[in-house]
Amino acid sequence: MMSPETAGPITKYYYGLPSERKPLLRQSWDNKVYRVARKIKKVGQDDPRRIVHGLKVGLALTLASLLLFYIKPFDLLDEDQNGIWAIMTIVLIFEFSVGATLGKGLNRMVATSSAAALGVGIHKIAIRSSGAGRATVIGFFVFTMGAICTFMRFVPAFKPYDYGLMIFILTFSMVSVAGYQPENWGKNVQDRIVTIIIGSVIAIVVCIFICPVWNGEDLQNLIAKNIEKLGNFLEGFKDEYFHKGEYFPKSEDGQPLDNKPFLKGYKSVLTSKSSEETMANLARWEWQYRFGFKHPWKQYVKVGALTRECAYKIEALNSYFNFEFQAYEFRSKIQEQCKQICSETGKALKELASAVKTMTKPTSVNIHIEKSKVASRKLKLLLDIILLEDYNLREIIPPAAVALILIDVVPCIEKIANAVHELAYLAHFKTPDSILSP
């Protein structure tokens, strides 16, 4: 008999206190099911919009199937086989964000129509011959268009139209090939285009009008959050590094510092390049009332890149937690200016983050940056006049290098601030007065 005390915490939690022993295989299976279930639950908890997205796709599919198969509103859809193209379109284009859905939907509609038109042209050429001749003509065009369009998908300039190119090959091949058997041919092509447009419209409407997920907002939040994480690090670093002399945080194994999440948060900034670029590309498809047609998405990418540059410096700062904290007396000499730089740049970054998030012009950022510049100049002078006789070099390098990196961080933050100011100008950020006044 297995006593309740020996059951793992997970089993206990799942079953309450087990009243009798379960076979080992059963137990491990239960644990596995529980673990998977917990993971799935976490996916929903992390971002509840994912659950909503699932329901939206279900809704769009049900709408399309009821509309096209049950109510049959369009006379032209008499051949019901074509109705499945609406279902297919919805499954293939319905993405999480409005930008991705709109991009795919527009790509699909334009590519389908143009490829169908071209396919009809090829068909007209092909029907002049018959048998082997027709097969040769169609085979030639399918091969050539397939090869060219597939190659074009590698060209960076065509990346936003990648899905369109794929659909173009698909439709063109299908329309041309269907020309082998020309009975009912024109009608079929027409019907399919109409159903594809219906499917696209259903997907786009459901995506936009029920709890929409705007890529533009997500990008804004990501950029703002990344800037904020750097600010959190700098403010936290100040307290951790210059706290007291005997303090040994020792982060190499990550143990004692794990309960200080602000010292780890910036790590995700180091690798967020590709998601920022993808989001900026998708955001361009969103013509949202809030952002307008010509929102400067590229500028967000620029701010993101500068933030990452700064994150590399912070990674370097972080590495000095690995060294033993000695030279207390030396550190206490430079700590005032270092702390000043950390706290002023931290404040500046936090204000920049909130400016990006709320689309408000930053106001006091320049004051903080000026203060940090003053501190940085003072620190430089201080480093010049410190007498070194009494020190051991290896002990004082880490704090001295920290000081030097902090001096180096200041122009980095200034670059981010300038990029955000430019963004505020380009994107017509609000002036804070309009918020303060009632």
257 C-beta neighbours (distance < 10 Å), count: 19
Residue 194 interacting with a second copy (CB under 8 A):
no
Q: Is 88 exposed, middle or buried (0-12, 13-18, 19+ CB in 10 A)?
A: middle
Q: Which is nearer to a second copy, 145 or 279 (CB)?
A: 145
- Given candidates 148, 205, 210, 435, which one binds a second copy under the rule CB under 8 A? 148
- Given candidates 7, 61, 137, 419, which one binds a second copy under the rule CB under 8 A? 61
Residues 320-359 that bind a second copy (CB under 8 A): 322-323
306 C-beta neighbours (distance < 10 Å), count: 20
Minimum CB separation of residue 416 from a second copy in Å reads 16
Residue 394 interacting with a second copy (CB under 8 A):
yes
- Given candidates 13, 29, 151, 247, which one binds a second copy under the rule CB under 8 A? 151
Q: Name the amino acid, one letter, at 331.
A: R
For residue 399, how far is the Cα from the chain centroid? 36
Residues 404-433 that bind a second copy (CB under 8 A): 404-405, 408
Q: Which residue has the tokens 């976490």?
A: 42
Minimum CB separation of residue 139 from a second copy in Å reads 5
Structure-block tokens of residue 131: 């048998």
Stretch binding a second copy (CB under 8 A), from 56-64, 204-212, 234-242, 364-372: 56-64
Q: Which is nearer to a second copy, 115 or 224 (CB)?
A: 115
Phi, psi of 360, rounded to the nearest 5 degrees: -115, 145
How many Cα atoms sit within 13 Å of 68 on the Cβ side?
28
Minimum CB separation of residue 180 from a second copy in Å reads 4
Q: Name the amino acid, one letter, at 264.
A: K
Judge contact between 153 and 166, C-beta under 8 A: yes
Tell which residue, 179, 106, 103, has the closest CA to residue 141.
179
* Contact code string over 6-45 relative to a second copy, x by CB under 8 A: ------------------------------x--xx--xx-
**Cα–Cα distance for residue pair 327/101, rounded to 1 Å:** 58
Q: Which is nearer to a second copy, 145 or 427 (CB)?
A: 145
Q: Which is nearer to a second copy, 180 or 247 (CB)?
A: 180
Stretch binding a second copy (CB under 8 A), from 81-89, 109-117, 119-127, 358-366: 81-89
Tell which residue, 299, 295, 304, has the closest CA to residue 276.
304
Structure-block tokens of residue 94: 């319905």
Residue 301 interacting with a second copy (CB under 8 A):
no
Residue 384 interacting with a second copy (CB under 8 A):
yes
**Cα–Cα distance for residue pair 426/408, rounded to 1 Å:** 28
Q: Which is nearer to a second copy, 340 or 360 (CB)?
A: 340
DSSP string, 397-413: HHHHHHHHHHHHHHHHH
- Given candidates 319, 326, 366, 418, which one binds a second copy under the rule CB under 8 A? 319
Q: What SS3 class is residue 338?
A: helix
Residues 228-287 that bind a second copy (CB under 8 A): 270-271, 273-275
- Given candidates 245, 312, 425, 433, which one binds a second copy under the rule CB under 8 A? 312
Q: Which is nearer to a second copy, 240 or 408 (CB)?
A: 408
Give 108's contacts (C-beta < 8 A, 6+ positions apart): 89, 92, 93, 163, 164, 167, 196, 200
Q: Name the amino acid, one letter, at 335.
A: Q
Residue 144 interacting with a second copy (CB under 8 A):
yes
Residues 172-191 that bind a second copy (CB under 8 A): 173-174, 176-178, 180-181, 188
Q: Which is nearer to a second copy, 81 or 431 (CB)?
A: 81
Residue 92 interacting with a second copy (CB under 8 A):
yes
Minimum CB separation of residue 209 from a second copy in Å reads 18
**Cα–Cα distance for residue pair 6/424, rounded to 1 Å:** 60
Q: Which is nearer to a second copy, 20 or 39 (CB)?
A: 39
